[in-house]
Structure 1
Amino acid sequence: MASSSLQQGNGHLMFKYNSPYFYKIILQDSIQKGKLGIPRKFVENHGNDMSSPAMLRVPSGEVWKVELSKCDGKILLENGWLEFSKHYFLELGYLLVFRYDGNNNFHVVIFNRSASEIQYPCTSNNHRRPQSIDGSEDDDSKQIQKSQLSCPRQGKMMRSTNSATKTETGCFWKSGSLAPPTNSDKSTSHNGITISKSVMFAPSS
Structure 2
Amino acid sequence: MDSFNYWTNNVVKRPRKALDSPHFFKVVMASALKDQKLEIPTKFVREYGVKAFATNQICLKVAADGRKWNVGLTKSNDGTRVWFHDHGWQTFVEFYSVGLEYFLVFKYECQSSSFYVVIFDRTATEIEYPIKIICLDDAEEKVKKETHISQGMFLV
Per the shorter chain, which TM-score range? 0.5 to 0.7
RMSD: 2.0
- Code of the aligned partner of 1:70: K
Match of 2:98 in 1: 90
User: Contact between 1:27 and 1:93, CA under 8 Å: does it hold in 2?
Assistant: yes
Percentage identity across paired residues of the two chains? 37
Q: Does 1:77 align with 2:113?
A: no
Aligned-partner Cα distance in 2 for 1:36–1:121: 26
Aligned-partner Cα distance in 1 for 2:85–2:134: 30
- 1:15 is displaced (CA, Å) by 5.8
Match of 2:67 in 1: 62
Aligned-partner Cα distance in 1 for 2:83–2:132: 28
Unaligned runs of at least 5 residues, structure 2:
1-13, 136-156
Shift in alpha-carbon separation, 1:65–1:123, aligned structure 2, 3 A:
farther
For the pair shown, the structure with the greater C-alpha radius of gyration is 2
- 1:89 is displaced (CA, Å) by 0.5
Aligned-partner Cα distance in 2 for 1:43–1:67: 15
- For 1:27, which of 15, 20, 29 is the aligned residue? 29
Which aligned runs of 4 or more in structure 1 are off by greater than 3 angstroms? Answer: 121-124
Describe how 1:15-164 pairs up with structure 2 within 5 A: 16-17=17-18, 18-49=20-51, 50=53, 51-59=55-63, 60-71=65-76, 72=78, 73-79=80-86, 80-102=88-110, 103-120=112-129, 122-123=131-132, 125=134
Q: What is the number of equivalent residue pairs in this alignment?
A: 114
The C-alpha deviation readout for 1:4-52, integer Å capped at 9, x for no partner, is: xxxxxxxxx8962210000000000010011111000110100111222
SS in 2 for 1:120: coil
Unaligned runs of at least 5 residues, structure 1:
1-12, 127-205
- 1:123 is displaced (CA, Å) by 4.7
Aligned-partner Cα distance in 1 for 2:60–2:131: 15
- Structure number with the higher helix fraction is 2
- 1:104 is displaced (CA, Å) by 2.7
SS in 2 for 1:91: coil
Aligned-partner Cα distance in 1 for 2:36–2:127: 20
User: Contact between 1:94 and 1:112, CA under 8 Å: does it hold in 2?
Assistant: yes
TM-score of the superposed pair, with normalisation by structure 2: 0.67
TM-score of the superposed pair, with normalisation by structure 1: 0.52
Shift in alpha-carbon separation, 1:75–1:123, aligned structure 2, 3 A:
farther
